[in-house]
Homo-oligomer: A and B are copies of this chain.
Amino acid sequence: MAKTKQPVAHTEEACNAILLPVSDALDVLKGKWKLQIIVALTFGDKRFKEISNEVSGITDRMLSKELKDLEMNQLVKRTVYDSFPPIVEYSITEHGKSLANVIDELKAWGLLHRKKIIGK
């Protein structure tokens, strides 16, 4: 059982030292679409419509909104070419690429979990 008394104040600090950055990270990736968009863009720069086609099920409204969020967090860069009809291209930034390790770990653990739980 657990009557090993623990230094509560210290575990709270240690706790927050983990939880704050973890929450920051999760917030940035939150929602149904952001990671799908990021992953799609890691395979190459794409235009609005191209992303829309690759991320199956997303509406224009959501794609627009999510791209803005990602741009605000400097994960994605938006480039407008002055032409008609308009051409807008989206690409991953260096900061966006720095998510690679996170995505790799999530992927690895997801596979492990699927083997353990889902694919009994």
Q: Chain B residues with Cβ under 8 A from A86's Cβ?
A: none
Separation in Å of the A40 CB from the closest CB of chain B? 6
**Residues of A87-120 whose CB lies within 8 A of B:** 87, 89, 95, 98-99, 101-114, 116-118
- Count identical subunits in the complex: 2
| Residue of A18, A40, A89 contacting most chain B CB atoms (<10 Å) | A18
Tally A residues with Cβ within 8 Å of B. 54
Could you pull out 23 A-B pairs where Cβ atoms are within 8 angstroms?
A1-B81, A2-B89, A6-B44, A11-B43, A11-B54, A12-B54, A15-B36, A15-B40, A18-B107, A19-B39, A20-B110, A22-B39, A22-B107, A22-B110, A23-B35, A24-B111, A24-B113, A25-B110, A26-B110, A99-B109, A101-B105, A105-B105, A105-B106
Chain A residues with a Cβ under 8 A of chain B: 1-2, 4, 6, 11-12, 14-15, 18-26, 28-29, 35-36, 39-40, 43-47, 54, 73-74, 81, 87, 89, 95, 98-99, 101-114, 116-118
